[in-house]
Amino acid sequence: MLRGFVHARIWNSDATAFLVEDGRFTKVGTDAEIQAELAAADETVDLNGLYVYPGFADSHLHLVGLGFYLSMLQLSGCRSVQDIQELVKKRLEQKEPWVIGRGYNEDNFDSKRRPLKADLDAVSIDVPIALTRVDGHVMVCNSKALELAGITEKTDIDGGAIDFERGVLEETAMNLVHKAWPKPDADTIEKYIRTGMKECNRYGITSVGSDDFVTLNEDYRPILAVFSRMAFQQSLTVRVNEQCEFASLEDFRQFLEDGYTQDTGDDFFRIGPLKLVADGTLGAHTASLSVPYVDNQGTMGYECYSTEDLNEYIRLAAYYNMAAIVHAIGDETVDTVLDIFKDVVLPGNPLHHGFVHCQITRPEQLQEMIRMQLNCYFQSLFIDYDASILESRVGPELAASSYAFRTLFEGTDASNGSDAPVEMPDVLKGIQLAVTRRSLSHPQAAMNPGECLSPKQALESYTAAGYKAFDVQDRLGAIQEGYLADFAVLDTDIEHCEPETIAKGKVMMTVMNGETVYER
């Protein structure tokens, strides 16, 4: 099918019209230049002066997790433990085998008190209830859920923590519950993927770096199989660069021995780097810091792997020509990983090893990332909430060199994303936050303005930089003849509008592989 698009304002281009066929841009030019060929087109879309951008690339999120999240009990609107209890009570009426919820944040409660086992037992002791905090790194369970997960007061776990009395699980301890809840079948996994993709398309996203393998339980194979089938059927509406996370070194070894490595796949679903989660989050006080948390002197957070295991994962990946990208939020974890990268990363970083998040950083660490040319996957959307807690958690000195997005963007290969479902994948909100570094939900809260991106840089962080991270910049990320026809149509000139209004812009249409996948 030949489609013509006319009367467009194309970002970074003098062209105003283009033709699309077989999933690619076949001609890009002025309306006059395209005119003669429109007669042969099956369809001509008049964009009426709207703004066209390359399809946005969200360089790190969890597509299956996003679909799963949107299908489960939503707790982000809760302002108290009682709110949570009310919602759980209501959900129980649906008579599901488990009540699984996510999204509460005790920082939004007047009491600042997090929900505990007793609060959930008060609602039900018969139906298992497991609720995950907004950041995905802490979970609270009722007695029944702990019982089904086989957790007792004696259970001990590496890389996580269990507070049995309160029913609170951190990091790897949550896997015990993930293993216990009902295993989704292929249809359910596909439903989650479709739900996640639909949400991405609404925001103009057509490519994602997505970490999915251990979202629902510990076995990566069912999710790999569903993605592979959907790619073959061309039913994916975002291109997926899989950031492969595993439950164990044995699983990773098996995956490699089965012949998978970076770049296996096609332009719909491709195996990307190995993803490792090396510490927790700032919100939950589980990110591993080099100093105690200012607002909780009893903890410095902790790392989720032993240094030996981390080392083995990263070396194994490199041996099979696969990059390792490591979730590191605290500066202590950044130190640990830099120390390993020092011996593994080749000059110029040809495999694209890197960091996901790299939030709390010291100046010399930033210099080391630049020297090694590491890839950095940051999330400017996190500024919205973290600007209100950063200084109170880590103090002014460490805060000043943290969330150093401009330093990273200008010095390394850094790209932007949402980490959805931690944040919804709202690209325009992410661009505004990168440009202003001022919270939208806590208007008094802001971060070091020296690290603001220009609007152009922020747009690039969601386009060219993402495609470079996925190593597909020779065919994606531009409205250009021969490139794959992925683009977003907006009602706003993001580069030149008032920065405080960027997030109010609207996505009018999203096109992936030449086909309209979202229309407002």
Residues that bind Zn ion (CB under 5 A): 419
CB of 398 to Zn ion, least distance (A): 22
The 515-519 sheet, strands edge to edge: 9-10, 51-54, 487-490, 507-512, 515-519
Instruction: State which residue, 199 or 419, has the beta carbon closest to Zn ion.
Output: 419
CB of 491 to Zn ion, least distance (A): 30
Smallest separation, CB 211 to Zn ion (Å): 5
Q: Indicate the residue whose CB is closest to Zn ion.
A: 419
To which residue do tokens 């999710």 refer?
Answer: 223
Between 212 and 419, CB nearer to Zn ion = 419
Hey, is 135 helix, strand or coil? coil
Q: Give the pair of three-digit tokens for residue 37.
A: 């060929």
At what angle are helices 249-257 and 307-319 packed, to 10 degrees? 10
Nearer to Zn ion among residue 63 and residue 169 (C-beta): 63
419/451 with CB nearer Zn ion:
419
Q: 468: closest CA among 70, 59, 166?
A: 59
Non-local CB neighbours of 283 within 8 Å, separated by 6+ positions = 105, 107, 133, 134, 135, 385, 386, 389
**Least distance to Zn ion, CB of residue 61, Å:** 7
Of 257, 361, 383, 372, which Cα lies nearest the Cα of 324? 372
- Tell the residue number behind the tokens 């009570």, with chain if given: 89
Residue 59 host element (H or E) = strand 56-61
Q: How far is the CB of 80 from Zn ion (least distance, A)?
A: 28
Q: Which residue, 123 or 329, has its beta carbon nearer to Zn ion?
A: 329
Q: Is the dihedral of CA 33, 53, 51, 513 positive or negative?
A: positive
**Smallest separation (angstroms) from Zn ion to the CB of 197:** 17
Residue nearer to Zn ion on the CB measure, 169 or 214: 214
Residue 519, beta-bridge partner list = 509
What CA–CA distances, in Å, run from 134 to 29, 137, 242, 410, 418?
A: 46, 8, 23, 30, 13
CB of 379 to Zn ion, least distance (A): 9
Closest to Zn ion by CB, 384 vs 419, is 419
Report, in Å, the least distance between residue 422 CB and Zn ion: 7
Can you read off the two tokens belonging to residue 378? 């940051």
Contact partners, residue 182, CB within 8 Å, separation at least 6: 97, 98
Burial class of 380 by CB neighbour count within 10 A (0 to 12, 13 to 18, 19+): buried
**Which of 58/419 has CB closer to Zn ion?**
419
Amino acid letter for position 198: K
Distance CA 512, CA 492 (A): 20
Q: How far is the CB of 434 from Zn ion (least distance, A)?
A: 18
Minimum gap (Å) between residue 148 Cβ and Zn ion: 26
As a whole number of angstroms, the distance between CA 505 and CA 309 comes to: 45
How far from 129 is each of 216, 224, 284, 405, CA to CA, in Å? 16, 28, 20, 38
Tell the smallest beta-carbon distance from residue 60 to Zn ion (Å).
6
- Of 391 and 419, nearer to Zn ion (C-beta) is 419
Q: Do the beta carbons of residue 517 and residue 237 sit within 8 Å?
A: yes
Closest CB to Zn ion among residues 201, 379: 379
Cβ nearer to Zn ion, comparing 419 with 426: 419
To Zn ion, the closest distance from the beta carbon of 367 in angstroms equals 26
Q: How many whole angstroms separate alpha carbon 515 and alpha carbon 385?
A: 35
Looking at the Cβ atoms of 167 and 280, the one nearer to Zn ion is 280
Q: Are strands 269-277 and 51-54 parallel, antiparallel or unpaired?
A: unpaired
